[in-house]
Structure 1
Amino acid sequence: MSLSARNWVWETDNRPRIATDTPAGLEDVPWIPLTPAEKLVLLCLAGLESAAEGYAYPSYATIARRTCLNVRTVQRVVKVLGESGLVHVARDRRVDGRWLSCIYRYPAVPEEYRAKVRRGCTNADSRPHPRAATALSTVSAPGLMADLVRCAT
C-alpha cells in the first residue's frame, strides 16, 4: 500500500471540472467536489498502489469487489478520474486482442508525500511489474513513461 497516495486521497476533496460535468449554475467553477464513489475508487487504488513503483494495476472487478460498487460504476468513475487528471490510466492488449487490466498512476500526488515513502522502501517493494514498461509505452500521455521510470528508481 502506498501511504503517500492514501494520505493525498484523504486530503483531496475536489477534482477539476471535465466536459461531461454540467451542474446547473456551476459552469464557470473550475473545481467540483468528489462524489463518494470517486473518493472510494481513489482510496482503493491508493491501497493497491506500490509505494516504490508509484502505480497499481487492479482489474475493474477487483476494484468493484473492494469498494462494493457495480463494475459499470467503477468503469464510469475511472473514466471521470482519468479525464480530470487525478489518475493516469494506461491500457494494453494481449496478442489475442483481449484487454489486460489497466495500470493506474497518481500524477497529482505531491513529491513530498512520495519522498517520505521512498526512503523506507525495501528491495521487495521496488520490483517493477513485468507489464509496466510495455503497457505504458503505448500510452499517448506526454511524459507518463518518464514519470513512471523516475518513480520506480
Structure 2
Amino acid sequence: MSERLQPGDTAPAFTLPDADGNPVSLSDYAGRRVIVYFYPAALTPGCTKQACDFTDNLDLLAGAGYDVIGVSPDKPEKLARFREKENLRVTLVADPEKKVLEAYGAFGEKKLYGRTVTGVIRSTVIVDGDGRVERALYNVRATGHVAKLIKDLAI
C-alpha cells in the first residue's frame, strides 16, 4: 500500500497524457494552487457526478486561484469520450500504469461493499503554488465532495 501524503510534503512531480494525448505536468501549474483529484473510472455514475461537480464549479475555483486536474487509470481515449459525453471542462489525465496514483497514496487496499479490494482510493490533494501539499483527503465521497471542498477552503 502506498504512503499517504501529509500537509507540508512535496507533491510528487508528474507528467501524464490528457484526453487528447498531450502531456500535462504538475510543474505547468507552478505558482498556482492545484486541486488534484483521483477517481476510479471515467463514465461511471459516481465519477461522472464528481467530474460534473468540478466542472460546474470550475469558474468559482479558478476565480479563487485553483486549477483542477482529474487523474484516473483510464486511457486517454476513454477520457476523451468521458469529456465529450459529459461536457467536462476539467483537465483529465491518464495514469494507466498507476504510478502517480501510487505516489499520491491514492491506490491500494480499500473497502468495497464490505470486502477488501485493491484499487483507486477516491482522493483529493491540494497543492500550493510552491508544489507542497496543502491538504490531502482520502476516501472522499463522490457526491457532495466539491461542495464540501469549497466550504472547507472558504471560497
TM-score (norm. length: structure 1): 0.32
Higher relative contact order (CA 8 A, sep 6+): 2
Higher helix share: 1
Larger of the two Rg values belongs to structure: 1
Structure (1 or 2) with the greater strand fraction? 2
